Amino acid sequence: MASVTIEPQRGEMPILQFCTPAQLRVDPTYQRPTDAQASRTLINRITRHWDWRLYQPLVVARRADGGLYVVDGQHRLEAARQRSDIPQLPCVVTSYDGAQDEAAAFVSLNQQRKPLSKMNLFRAAIAAGDADAIAIEALVELVGLRITGAADVRTWKPGWINNVAAIQQCYRQHGEAVTRVSLEALAKGFPLAVLRNCNTMFGAIVPLVAQQGAALSAFLLHEILRDADQETWMSRFRDLATARSISVTFAAKQLLGESYAEAAAE
């Protein structure tokens, strides 16, 4: 393991303190306004479904005059103020070198946050017992595929896929049958292949399966997909996208649909 250069600590160690909502202030010079629809929606959701198990202490600055200013957590503060059953809030209180230093900390705190990926959320949903997530994983495994969280496609094995967002959308929009048939087409259309283009290919398969319904010949669809490898399909999609001045995603749907129609007519 490479050695890490250790820099001197900065700032003072904070203290843990319970503060009443009335004690806490917000500096509008660097805090985001909360009157936007997205902020109001978030505040109302926290207000309605307050859960201490999900609560994180507010980051609070103690100024020279003794004032307590929220650096991180103003939505939680506003939500607490809208309720009548939260007399105090756990806070991490520290000292900053003025409002400018607070603003810099506000920026750093928000930049350090890494949003959860669709894969993170999917795995968490399974762990939480979400019925749809569990059903989707079962469908994936039923057709011989496997959902992977590995980001580097070069480490993938045949049958691994990571397009959980597209699969979830298909499941919600079209239901179990279309999702299963579409996943099976992906598996049987590219057997023993590393499915590095699973998102584009699945996106092309789903509308065809949904449109054909019970009339679909799964065998014919599998044969059409096996006509070329993924790289060749992607090249065809890009060529069609250029020729028709459309997106690659839309071109993929059109080309696979047209290929199926031509084969079915023979």
Which residue type does 82 have? Q
Please check the confidence at residue 208 and state whether its pLDDT lies above 60: yes
Give the chain's mean pLDDT.
93
Please check the confidence at residue 2 and state whether its pLDDT lies above 70: no
The last residue of a domain, from among 67, 88, 112: 112
For the record, the structure tokens of 171 come out as 């499941």
Three-class DSSP category at 68: strand
Give the pTM: 0.71
For the record, the structure tokens of 225 come out as 């997909």
pLDDT digits (tens, 9 = 90+) for 135-189: 999 999 999 999 998 888 999 999 999 999 999 999 999 999 999 999 999 999 9
pLDDT score recorded for residue 117:
84
**Cα→Cα distances 45→55, 80, 222, Å:** 13, 11, 46
CATH number at residue 81: 3.90.1530.10
Residue 10 located in a structural domain? no
Q: How many domains does the chain have?
A: 2
Alpha carbon 114 to chain centroid distance? 11
β-pairing, 15-19 vs 89-95, is: antiparallel
Of 256, 264, 196, 262, nearest in space to 226 by CA: 256
DSSP state of 190: S
Domain limits at 49?
15-112
pLDDT score recorded for residue 241:
98
Question: What is the rounded distance in angstroms from the CA atom of residue 255 to the CA atom of residue 240?
Answer: 8
Please check the confidence at residue 11 and state whether its pLDDT lies above 90: no
What percent of the chain has pLDDT above 90?
Answer: 75
Same domain (yes/no): 29, 78: yes
Residue 8 located in a structural domain? no
Place of tokens 């580097």: 152
Residue 4 located in a structural domain? no
Which residue type does 20 have? T
Please check the confidence at residue 1 and state whether its pLDDT lies above 70: no
Is there a contact between 214 and 177 (Cβ–Cβ < 8 Å)?
A: no
Question: What is the rounded distance in angstroms from the CA atom of residue 81 to the CA atom of residue 59?
Answer: 17
For the record, the structure tokens of 106 come out as 């506000």
The last residue of a domain, from among 81, 112, 143: 112
Please check the confidence at residue 239 and state whether its pLDDT lies above 90: yes
In sequence order, what E strands does 109-175 have? 146-147, 160-161
| Mean pLDDT on 246-254 | 98
| Mean pLDDT on 70-86 | 95
| Alpha carbons within 13 A on the beta-carbon side of 194 | 9
The last residue of a domain, from among 84, 112, 140: 112
Same domain (yes/no): 105, 30: yes
